[in-house]
Structure 1
Amino acid sequence: MRAKRAVLILDVVESVRLVEQDESEFISHWLAFVEHVRSRILPDHNGHFTKGLGDGMLLDFDDVRSAVLAAFSIQQERNRQNQALPPAQQIMLRMGIEISDVIIDQADLYGRGVSRAARILTLAGPGEIVISANVRDQLTADLDADIEDLGECYLKHMPQPVRAYRVGPPGPRPVIETGYAFEGLLPTLAVVPFTTRDPEDEHHVLGEVLAEELIQDLSRSPELHVISRLSTTVFRGRDASLAQVSANLNANYVLSGSYRVQNRQVMVEAELAEAKSGQVAWSARYKGQLSGIISGKRDLIDEIAANVNAAIMVSELQRAQSQALPTLKSYTLLLAAVALMHRLSPHDFSEAHRLLEALIERAPRQAIPRAWLAKWHVLRVQQGWSDDPHQDAQLALRCTKQALDADPQCSLALAIDGFVHTNLLKKLDVATERYDLALLNNPNDSLAWLLKGTLHAFKDEGQQAVSCTQRARKLSPLDPHRYFYDSLAATAHLTAHQFDRALKLAQRSLKSNCTHTSTLRAMAIAQWELGHHDDARRTVGRLMQLEPHLTIRSWRERSPSTGYRIGEEWASVLHQAGVPE
């Protein structure tokens, strides 16, 4: 039988975590709640319990208002029951509602409305109800519900965006929090003041100085959220446990340590611990000159900060590779995806795509995961792995469009949109506008400066290219993908005919990642121009092993430098060094 029904689908947020935490307790609570919905709530709203979905329910109603009122009742009952549970055991629901013609049989519903309700559900955060435009049209704002327009939203397996709305019970005050903040996409690090091992040490304030300098360095990492010094300094002199520091600062990692001053030298012991497990993720000892720290010389601070940043990346990558996707925090998915993508090995590259897709499905209204997926498509073409560069270009463009629809001022999305227009579409004027807009929104966006510098290089503007890439490298000294910065900086120095510097940067980049084909091309050109012809031929040999189908013709087709003098110069050198015509 076919009939028009309002379809409500709900499920439990983080059900895998709740089951792993206490299977019997969760199942007992959930089954009792399902029975309450079936026997107490649905009869009051003329609703029908179609079926259970394991950690969810499929319900249908005669009309939209009944479905929405039932959703509010379910939400209120869930909130009431959660008050009696510890925070870690609370069951949070998300719901999606659509109205459509469906096919009804004795045990199930079928049709487009059911699948659309399931997709709309993914837009909801914990404790949220999201509805379609069809449902919204049958509600009166402020009378039936408090309604917030989410705009055009992109849903998995749906080619066109869908207009969606978030709803809450009507009332004198707004009950919908504006801009629901999805779980943080960056891990949070707290750096507490280092303690002295000598109570009589006249330099007892040095612990504050070390923490402040480390916070300043680590705050420049785009992969971390670092708690401010004003918040962490309250723990100076307190014998606080790791759990206390983490709970008060809401930190995922805590960096602490001790120091001793002896003969004008400082011995520092630093330790990075994961807050939840209490496990030490990294520790090390360092020695430096006291005068250097006090006078602002940053060698010791930079070394500690770089190692801390790398240790967090390694920890999150290991977690992503050892645990099931549903159990991972969003920042773990993001950091692991970006790390695997930049390894540029085929298997890891494919895994990065899987992680980004999973994160986008979990956080469909976040700009950053879509921006990184766009970069994934650009790198796929650059590495010579794409079977259809035109399709990858369109997919990358779609990703950046969706990212900018979600957050028009996201500097990362703007910068990568410029990257797409530079490297895949060759629309350099549009790319220039994107980079400028990214830097207008965030003047310290190192990736935007880097990519803008590369654009200047492709246009044979050597000095501007070098200036921009130098600024990028200075802004991001701790970037875990430093090879990428060094590689693009090498290209900038090639354009400026600074071949010695280009060669050194390319060599350093390849030391960190020997599979980046763009770096190999830059190094071969620098070697040839310096007269190291045999070295250049060997480098091209390595390049052809990684990209066996590379020709000068195919390189011209995809290089943004084609049509500029510098592009012709590079094509000639690569051909002489062994790339076939």
Structure 2
Amino acid sequence: MTATQPEAQWPVYRRAARTVVVVDVVESVRLIEQNEEDTVRRWQAFVGEVVTQLLPQHGGRLVKSLGDGLMVEFAAVPSAIQCAIAMQSTIAKANQSRRRDECLYLRIGAHVADVIVDELDIYGSGVNLAARLTTLAGPGEIVVSAEVRDALTDGLDAEIEDLGDCYLKHVQQPVRVYRVGEPGDASVLGSAADPEALLPTVAVIPFRARVDDAEHAVLGDVLADEVIGGLSQSPHLHVISRLSTSAFRDRAASLPDISRPLGVRYVLSGSYHLVGAKVRLSIELADANTQRTLWAATLGALTNDVLAGDDPMVPQIVAEVGSAIVARELHRGATSPLPTLESCTLLMGATALMHRASFREFDRARQMLEHLADRHRRQPQAHAWLGKWHVLRVVQGWTLDKTRETQLAQASVQRALDADASCGLALAIGGLIQAYLKKDLAEARRHYEAALACNPNESLAWLFTSTLHSYQGEGALAGAAAQRALRLSPLDPLKYFFDSLAATAVLSSGDYEHAIELAQRSLKANRTHTSTYRSLAIAQVLGGHVDEARETVNALVKLEPELTVQGFIDRYPGQVSTQVQAYAQALRMAGLPA
């Protein structure tokens, strides 16, 4: 290079988390050979609409056009999947007037990863994986990685189907993949004749930070959780769980967009900002049906006082919101959150990880909860969730020592109750241990009744109560309790677990078709939950679908090859009920070995 020659200027690059979406045209070579000019013209029209309309609407960037495909990238997973669904919808409309052999079909793959980004391109193994995922998609399909699926809410962002572990070219280990599609009607409520449906229902959306501050981003969740805890003390309200309302964190959603999937009429939302040691919260309560604001306030407090439960701000919100909804003062109830933001962040992260299908992430949740429990020995939350962790370990089949896990679960719940004897979560999990691990249904009932006396809106207590009724042959009560649980937590990250147990409850009421629907919905989200297959097979036989039941049992024994009818009877908590023999006979008819 001479002194007069300018030095080459290379694009500046950086690392960033990006959702990479790869779009490929199915049988592009055949289409070009069939009618080159027409195919190119239609593809150019589609790319033009993507670039000028879809990408700006969803915050995406075109990385490259590949002749018969595209690569685009997004900062947020939900936006990426919404854009991918819109692409499939756009091409489907363009195909409406075409013969089948002329249609342009797309297959799309998506993965989120830390990649290298510059102004011209993106690089890294995550980009390669997104391209590999595309090969698993059929015409008109979208296939995504587990990392993408974990950032989506089933039924809200997309309809999600678990495809299991799949092998990809040049990828040594199998990859868990999911097929996603356009979300349908997310109605979660039961019959309008249900007397519980007459109670007003409220959702508290995590409060939004006015300034992007990662260090204090969790404060909005903590404040919302405190309000949920206070409102849940009222037997006159349905309060949607935080695990469901957190799906709307940082979303620009309208009131109808929130109320429809959650099945609520009233929505409490707002924003906060920090000024030194103080937090200032602006909130409003709205009627989603009329889209009118019913109550609004701007309140301030010392952040540490709010976290310690020593400031009247949260009880004031609870009282005024309750008065606006039911025209009477709510019973005030204080909660005891972990006293620091750092601990709250750990708790929220652990409860999310323990709901995932990966054992590595599941075990990471245990480490986080044990760390929290040791740091805050007089707070019940970490101990209660540890109890549930041990139960889930048995449920998932990740232990060979059920007796030890039972002892550890009971010890964790007891520590939670020693810290707070009225902790509804701990009481509900204590009942689960009695019913599922010890098969003491009378003691389980006492735990669930105590949990609901402390918190009438504890969704897990209602869910576990539904299975208790089913074990005792009380079908109508089981179905009613299951509907209450589903209504209180319609978007729970463990939704497949709610649907699975609800199927068990509905099965005992004799509504076999509804039980089949719930079980199939559960399996669509998680194809490795063996108890769901058992409930589905029984419902199919009793509903007259014996051939389908045999297929279900074939899938079940692949996951649990040692299972027998006698093993089912030994495991079933309702061994003294009249229905256990009917269920056992149904499994025999479906082909399960005796």
Kindly indicate whether structure 1 or structure 2 has the higher relative contact order, using CA contacts under 8 Å at least 6 residues apart.
Answer: 2
What TM-score range do you get, normalising by the shorter chain? Answer: 0.3 to 0.5
Q: TM-score, normalised by structure 2?
A: 0.45
Larger Rg: 1
Q: TM-score, normalised by structure 1?
A: 0.46
